[in-house]
Structure 1
Amino acid sequence: MKKITTFEQKKVLILGLARSGEAAARLLHSLGALVTVNDGKAFDENPAAKALLKEGIQVICGNHPLELLDEGFAYMVKNPGIRYDNPMVKRALAKKIPVLTEVELAYLVSEAPIIGITGTNGKTTTTTLIAEILNADGRSAKLAGNIGFPASEVAATATEKDTLVMELSSFQLMGTIDFKPKIALITNIFSSHLDYHGSQEAYEAAKWRIQENLTADEYLVLNFNQEKCRALAAHTAAQVVAFATEQQVDGAYSLEGKLYFRDEFIMETAALALPGEHNLENALAAIAVAKLSGVENQAIIKVLTSFSGVKHRLQYLGEISGRKVYNDSKATNILATKRALSGFENSKLWLLAGGLDRGNDFDELLPVVSGLKGMAVFGETAPKLQKLADQLHIPTVPSENVATALKEVFEKSTAGDTILLSPASASWDQYKTFEERGDMFIKAFEELKGELK
Structure 2
Amino acid sequence: MKQLPLVYHKKILVLGLAKSGTAAAEILHELGAFVTVNDSKPFEQNENAQYLLSKGMTVICGSHPENLLDEGFSLIVKNPGIPYKNPVIAEAIKRGIPVWTEVELAYRISDAPMIGITGSNGKTTTTTLIFEMLEVGRKQPLIAGNIGTAASAVASKATEENTIVTELSSFQLMGTVELKPKVAVLMNLYEAHLDYHTDFKEYTDAKFNVTKKQDASDWFIYNGEQKNVTDYASKSKARKVPFYVSGKMKEGISADDLYVYWNGEKLFERSIIALRGKHNLENVLAATAAALIFDCSIENIKEVLSTFHGVKHRTQFVREWKNRKFYNDSKATNALATKSALEGFSEQVILIAGGVDRGHSFDELIPHLQNVKALIHYGETTKRLQEFGEKQSIPSVVSVNTLKEAIEEAVKISKEGDIVLLSPACASWDQYESFEIRGDEFIEQVLDLNE
Q: If the TM-score is normalised by the length of the shorter chain, which range does it land in?
A: over 0.9
Q: Separation in 1 of the partners of 2:261 and 2:101?
A: 37
Which residue pairs with 1:263 in the alignment?
264
> Does the alignment pair 1:197 with 2:197?
yes
Which residue pairs with 2:244 in the alignment?
244
TM score, norm. by length of structure 1:
0.97
Q: Separation in 2 of the partners of 1:393 and 1:213?
A: 50
What amino acid does structure 1 have at the position aligned with 2:373?
A: K
2:330 and 2:422 in contact (8 A); partners too: yes
Which residue pairs with 2:438 in the alignment?
437
Say which is worse superposed, 6-15 or 403-412, in terms of deviation: 403-412
Which residue pairs with 1:105 in the alignment?
105
Say which is worse superposed, 396-405 or 414-423, in terms of deviation: 396-405
Q: Separation in 2 of the partners of 1:42 and 1:373?
A: 52
Deviation at 1:437, TM superposition (A): 0.6
Which residue pairs with 1:386 in the alignment?
386
1:371 and 1:394 in contact (8 A); partners too: no
> Does the alignment pair 1:70 with 2:70?
yes
> Does the alignment pair 1:302 with 2:333?
no
Which residue pairs with 2:254 in the alignment?
253
Q: Separation in 2 of the partners of 1:182 and 1:403?
A: 46
What amino acid does structure 2 have at the position aligned with 1:173?
A: L
Which residue pairs with 1:85 in the alignment?
85
Q: After superposition, what is the alpha-carbon deviation per residue over 1:132-181, rounded to whole angstroms, capped at 9, x for unaligned?
A: 01101111111111111100011111111110000111111111111111
Which residue pairs with 2:229 in the alignment?
229
Q: Separation in 2 of the partners of 1:233 and 1:412?
A: 47
1:361 and 1:384 in contact (8 A); partners too: no
What's the % identity of the aligned pairs? 48
1:266 and 1:301 in contact (8 A); partners too: no
> Does the alignment pair 1:166 with 2:172?
no
Q: After superposition, what is the alpha-carbon deviation per residue over 1:20-67, rounded to whole angstroms, capped at 9, x for unaligned?
A: 111111111111111111000111111111111111111100000121
Q: Alignment partner of 1:325: what SS? A: strand
Q: Separation in 2 of the partners of 1:162 and 1:404?
A: 47
2:375 and 2:394 in contact (8 A); partners too: no
Q: Alignment partner of 1:195: what SS? A: coil
Deviation at 1:361, TM superposition (A): 4.0
Q: Separation in 1 of the partners of 2:375 and 2:271?
A: 27
Which residue pairs with 1:406 in the alignment?
407
The count of aligned residue pairs is: 449
1:327 and 1:421 in contact (8 A); partners too: yes
2:374 and 2:394 in contact (8 A); partners too: no
Q: Separation in 1 of the partners of 2:105 and 2:429?
A: 34
Q: After superposition, what is the alpha-carbon deviation per residue over 1:283-316, rounded to whole angstroms, capped at 9, x for unaligned?
A: 0111111111111001111111111111111111
Deviation at 1:195, TM superposition (A): 1.8
Q: Alignment partner of 2:234: what SS? A: helix
What amino acid does structure 2 have at the position aligned with 1:250?
A: E
Give 4+ residue runs of structure 1 displaced > 4 Å after superposition: none
1:243 and 1:249 in contact (8 A); partners too: no
Which residue pairs with 1:29 in the alignment?
29
Deviation at 1:18, TM superposition (A): 1.2
Which residue pairs with 1:314 in the alignment?
315
Q: Separation in 2 of the partners of 1:398 and 1:235?
A: 50
Q: Separation in 2 of the partners of 1:224 and 1:235?
A: 14
1:112 and 1:164 in contact (8 A); partners too: yes
2:319 and 2:447 in contact (8 A); partners too: no
Aligned CA-pair RMSD: 1.3
Q: Separation in 2 of the partners of 1:431 and 1:60?
A: 33
Q: Separation in 2 of the partners of 1:318 and 1:268?
A: 25
Q: Separation in 2 of the partners of 1:309 and 1:369?
A: 23
Q: Separation in 2 of the partners of 1:45 and 1:189?
A: 39
> Does the alignment pair 1:13 with 2:13?
yes
Q: Alignment partner of 2:448: what SS? A: helix
Q: Separation in 2 of the partners of 1:12 and 1:249?
A: 50
1:413-428 to 2 correspondences below 5 Å: 413-428=414-429
Q: Separation in 2 of the partners of 1:393 and 1:79?
A: 45
What amino acid does structure 2 have at the position aligned with 1:359?
A: G
Deviation at 1:230, TM superposition (A): 2.3
Which residue pairs with 1:331 in the alignment?
332
Deviation at 1:383, TM superposition (A): 1.5
Q: Alignment partner of 2:38: what SS? A: strand
Q: Separation in 1 of the partners of 2:395 and 2:69?
A: 60
Say which is worse superposed, 117-126 or 192-201, in terms of deviation: 192-201
Uncovered stretches (5+) of structure 2, i.e. residues with no partner = none
Q: Separation in 2 of the partners of 1:401 and 1:369?
A: 23
Q: Alignment partner of 2:220: what SS? A: strand
What amino acid does structure 2 have at the position aligned with 1:40?
A: S
Q: Alignment partner of 2:196: what SS? A: helix
1:427 and 1:434 in contact (8 A); partners too: yes
TM score, norm. by length of structure 2:
0.97
What amino acid does structure 1 have at the position aligned with 2:289?
A: A
2:324 and 2:416 in contact (8 A); partners too: yes
1:355 and 1:380 in contact (8 A); partners too: yes
1:130 and 1:286 in contact (8 A); partners too: yes
Q: Separation in 2 of the partners of 1:250 and 1:115?
A: 21
Q: Separation in 2 of the partners of 1:129 and 1:306?
A: 11
Q: After superposition, what is the alpha-carbon deviation per residue over 1:213-246, rounded to whole angstroms, capped at 9, x for unaligned?
A: 1111101111101122223332121111111111
Shift of the 228–363 alpha-carbon distance from structure 1 to 2, 3 Å rule, reads closer
Which residue pairs with 1:43 in the alignment?
43
Shift of the 421–415 alpha-carbon distance from structure 1 to 2, 3 Å rule, reads same
Q: Alignment partner of 1:26: what SS? A: helix
